[in-house]
Chains A and B, each alone.
Chain A
């Protein structure tokens, strides 16, 4: 049985509150807080990008995996929509930083916010097929949102990393199911700085139809029902969408709570549901079932059913817990600092 042998997350310490962004643009903060269930979001400082976030998350995954032989890691995949280079991989840099050298398949993945779960899916498939002993999948983003756009209130940063293997599992993968349709809900074209989106169109026809499609299919395939699961995590472009689809499918607030990070973290794009999964694993017990469904605009969802093993009790605290990263040691910044960190201020060269 293939599954997760190590997992870890990393989040920036910096946060900006919805009120601070709303103040600059004359927007109505209470309506964002209530309508989209967003309170604050993480902000990567100037020296943090998808590569550095990925390195930190991967280190935490290796801490939980134990002393595994880096040369046995046959693949490194990073899913992101904010790879620092348009041409030149993130994966090779991250690989060298965490000690994975040379004899390794490396690829950067892109599929809007589904790129991270895509990396997980492919890594898992390799170890399941017996092609390699371990495969590293990382979901990371320093998300872009245009100034004053609704996305600016949510676009955040963070990373989750997973080492897939067949032995010493923390969580077995019992089922996967992927679902896709052609959907122009959100995109960024070549040479554009910020993504564009179809406003309210991105809801029902895109996020909900796709997430619903994948979720219902994997429930049917597994013969399981929402009440069978201890936890559930969905892609979270804001606080409201994952809660709405969870309730529609029959999950409860208690089931989504540990992985429902968006109200305080924002939307970490490719990182969103994978980081949510790390939050669920942190508090899970042996035998717990965890439901996971990502979403990427364009659109597609990857759904997974994970079963936690006894090993969770040994490894849980070998690396920092995700909720500690979310809750502690935070630095709140103003819009000016945020604008500087996110390179929104034009300067002469």
Chain B
């Protein structure tokens, strides 16, 4: 398999983007990525999207987006793995370029979530859980993650302060991200007094509903060099799944798909966890960031929370997590999230992170962990400076 690179990235506006439609968000991000990379054509397109059907009544997304990008005829496909759709779309582009089938492929993600009501969006998101065994019985994602949080608190003594530390740190990082939906800092007491959603998770423990798109150009090293633009290498890629319903799993406090995918990706990259300088992880809820940090093996079970309280995951900590602001501050247009993680890793590894959120010391290797549902799917990528 030949080397695969990322040479350009782009994002649309993220937030409640009332004046842009589903397709316009995608085109904004795709054009930004093409301009950023300086490529003159694409060989194919993968679009990660969790549920165009439920959010805006639109399927056949690959063809639609190729059309509106002004490239009818382009091979294009929609990739779905719930909130991990973007990460899996990126992996499809990686495989296609690595296999030598194409030289320049766009991996993109998009979601338009505010054209429907909050209740409809919650119901659409719940389609990522087990409809028969969870959703029909009243479960929603905040409810499922609240149960996971309670289990983690019961087993390891994880505290309210540890959850708060995740939100405060991500908002601090996001305050420096020009693409963030909520680019403001939070005080711990603001998080702890925010409205309860599903005990123990408060509104400021939860990632928001977001309209947005992100796109990256995945290409061979030869094509990357031709552009003359900074590029990075994709050195590890893996997807893993788990039982979809929480009740089927051995426990609710580890995310096995994250464990499996990270192990496989590290093995492919020929790296150890200690070689990774920072990570973008799927903090759909504050508890998820703690559980993922433990599940990928960075911390022993129960140790991530105390480490976060001590500042280890901060931008200047031993292992920065979510320098972009994460899903919490940057926003979570579900299908675009996995691609936006790659955007941040590209910026960090090429020294282009804006407004003082550049990790100091020249990070060499970054990890992206993107997951679907309560962790029924996880996709992990490891990227390295070229």
Name A's B-contacting residues (CB within 8 A): 28, 31, 198-201, 204-205
Contact = CB atoms under 8 A, between A and B. Distances in A.
A339 B16 CA distance: 35
Nearest to A198: B117
B195 A200 contact: no
Contacts of B195: 28, 31
A205 B18 contact: yes
A198 B114 CA distance: 9
B118 interface: yes
A200 B118 CA distance: 9
A201 B196 contact: no
Give the 6 A-B CB pairs with smallest separation, nearest first.
A205-B18, A31-B195, A28-B195, A199-B118, A199-B117, A201-B18
Given A28-B196, A201-B16, A201-B18, 12 more contacts: A28-B195, A31-B195, A198-B117, A199-B117, A199-B118, A200-B16, A200-B114, A201-B114, A204-B16, A204-B18, A205-B18, A205-B19
A221 B117 CA distance: 38
Interface in B357-384: none
Contacts of A200: 16, 114
Contacts of B118: 199
Contacts of B18: 201, 204-205
Interface residues of B, number: 8
15 contacts: A28-B195, A28-B196, A31-B195, A198-B117, A199-B117, A199-B118, A200-B16, A200-B114, A201-B16, A201-B18, A201-B114, A204-B16, A204-B18, A205-B18, A205-B19
A300 B91 CA distance: 49
Contacts of B117: 198-199
Contacts of A201: 16, 18, 114
A198 B117 CA distance: 7
A319 B196 CA distance: 47
B238 to A, nearest CB: 38
Interface string B16-36: 101100000000000000000
A201 B211 CA distance: 13
A207 to B, nearest CB: 13
A204 B117 CA distance: 16
Interface string B76-111: 000000000000000000000000000000000000
Interface string B24-65: 000000000000000000000000000000000000000000
Nearest to B117: A199
Contacts of A205: 18-19
A204 B16 CA distance: 10
A31 B190 CA distance: 13
Contacts of B19: 205
Contacts of A204: 16, 18
Contacts of A199: 117-118
A288 B16 CA distance: 41
A200 B121 CA distance: 13
Interface string B117-136: 11000000000000000000
B47 to A, nearest CB: 25
A31 B195 CA distance: 7
Nearest to B121: A199
A34 B74 CA distance: 52
A83 to B, nearest CB: 28
Contacts of A198: 117
B193 to A, nearest CB: 9
A205 B17 CA distance: 10
Interface in B159-198: 195-196
B106 to A, nearest CB: 31
B350 to A, nearest CB: 35
A204 B18 CA distance: 9
Nearest to B118: A199
A115 B96 CA distance: 60
A28 B16 CA distance: 24
A204 B196 CA distance: 25
A280 to B, nearest CB: 33
Contacts of B16: 200-201, 204
Nearest to A35: B195
Nearest to A209: B18
A28 B202 CA distance: 12
Interface in B277-304: none
Nearest to B196: A28
B76 to A, nearest CB: 31
A247 to B, nearest CB: 18
Nearest to A27: B195
A90 B196 CA distance: 45
Contacts of B196: 28
Contacts of B114: 200-201
Contacts of A31: 195
A201 B16 CA distance: 8
Nearest to B194: A31
A7 B117 CA distance: 41
A77 B277 CA distance: 71
A255 B196 CA distance: 36
A345 B91 CA distance: 57
A198 B16 CA distance: 12
A199 B196 CA distance: 19
B121 to A, nearest CB: 10
A33 to B, nearest CB: 12
A205 B115 CA distance: 13
Nearest to A201: B18
A227 to B, nearest CB: 30
Nearest to A28: B195
B205 to A, nearest CB: 15
A31 B16 CA distance: 21
Nearest to A205: B18
Most buried by B among A28, A199, A204, A205: A199
B142 to A, nearest CB: 15
A31 B204 CA distance: 14
Nearest to A200: B16
Nearest to A203: B16
A103 B16 CA distance: 52
